[in-house]
Structure 1
């Protein structure tokens, strides 16, 4: 059986108008097209939906049974058309941890304020998780903290982000002049490999410290902040991540004998991914 919404639409208009002539005018179709659609529908159902009384079509018991179901299906079809006409589908976003925990909440709050009914599915992981999800089409858009080297993924620079080295206020590294040697000798607490922050820290900072002391690797920025605060070592994270702790003095920025540690944040999508109006609209909110 292959009943179409057009056939159901013809049926409901014939029922309301009592003739194929009025239905053809309401639907802007030829009378022959309306008659053919109605005949096809009755043929597929194997019943007559109307009694023919002269030139009038009077709905019978079969037509009365079909009518409420036909109206419900047509309403659902209209809802589907409206949904995609307005691009109201759920946006699937995967962000690396710094972005997902410290940047996106404000972005999503602004977006939901203007579009309260539009769903967003947000996942948070490390940058490699995000890249793999984008490459596998499991998400629509990814937001990462380091460059992506996959040929099938498009990488677009998004925001600038500053990394800072920090320590507890009474850390031994702050009791002397900070040099590359004293930094190398300090115990470091770093993000795990595969994290965008770790990749950039390795490139911008640790490459200047050929022999540094790695105390531990943690997969969570909050855990790193607490470990540093309790004197277990020093670390390097986005200024956005430790802004509150620096303001309250529970963590202290370590001055570096190096240029500012600045990186780009990126949004990524698969090269074959269609960027819908909804996705482009969300990215515009990311730029605000």
Structure 2
């Protein structure tokens, strides 16, 4: 009996070890590019033997991967959390309308109203992204978004198009902070449209993160 118990304990420890030796993370583009690198470096300091895989996509894709148990922990930027997922707010974020210095909006001291923003073709992220979801909701009462000038699948591509002078973009302030500070882009104030949003960690309902996923979740609260 003792030998059987010891064998069971050894098997359980080995199973825990295998589970704790890997972490699958899915994150929306902004979080993956601007927040997760710091968190993962800190996690490596705590768990040097844990192998981490990261899938970056829009918030809808992240939710799908977590629901399908293809990720142990997800990070999203949208307004809502899909059914079947629990969540925790890890930070507050703000969307910014930004233009190249030569754009006419860059010289406006009062910025733009929601109605003008809604009627202007913008450089946008694709549908399914948290950024697009928040912007759609913010401008719904102003008539909804006009047909995009460009619709791009990554934060970096949207920013590059705005930097080229193609037109106004709407991105997280995390994504454009350096460019605004260097005046490569200019923030345009917006009135009448709420552009604040929450950043959330998500996991399957009833399955609170454990092991390295729990440790990563803890680090997000300490470092924002």
Deviation track 1:127-173 (CA, whole Å, cap 9, x = no partner) reads 11111111111111110001444321112222101111100001022
Q: Shift of residue 236 of structure 1?
A: 1.1
- 1:262 paired to 2:196: yes
Match among 196, 211, 214 for residue 277 of structure 1: 211
Match among 175, 179, 183 for residue 112 of structure 2: 179
Moved >6 Å (runs of 4+): none
Whose relative contact order is higher, 1 or 2, with alpha carbons under 8 Å and at least 6 apart? Answer: 2
TM-score (norm 1): 0.67
Q: For 2:125 and 2:56, locate their aligned partners in 1 and report how far apart those are by CA, in whole Å.
A: 15
Name stretches of at least 5 consecutive residues in structure 1 with no aligned partner. Answer: 1-5, 8-26, 28-73
The match for 1:44 is none
- 1:232 paired to 2:166: yes
Match among 152, 172, 178 for residue 244 of structure 1: 178
- 1:221 paired to 2:158: no
For these two proteins, the number of residue pairs brought into alignment is 216
Q: Give the RMSD, CA atoms, in angstroms.
A: 2.7
Name which of structure 1's ranges 169-178 and 194-203 shifts more when overlaid on structure 2: 169-178
Q: Shift of residue 201 of structure 1?
A: 1.2
TM-score (norm 2): 0.85
Q: Going by fraction, where is helix more abundant, 1 or 2?
A: 1
Larger radius of gyration: 1
Question: In the superposition, relative to structure 1, how do residues 206 and 218 fare at CA in structure 2: closer, same or farther (>3 Å)?
Answer: farther
Question: In the superposition, relative to structure 1, how do residues 134 and 220 fare at CA in structure 2: closer, same or farther (>3 Å)?
Answer: same
Q: For 1:249 and 1:278, locate their aligned partners in 2 and report how far apart those are by CA, in whole Å.
A: 40
- 1:144 paired to 2:144: no
Q: Is the 8 A contact 1:142 1:267 kept in 2?
A: yes
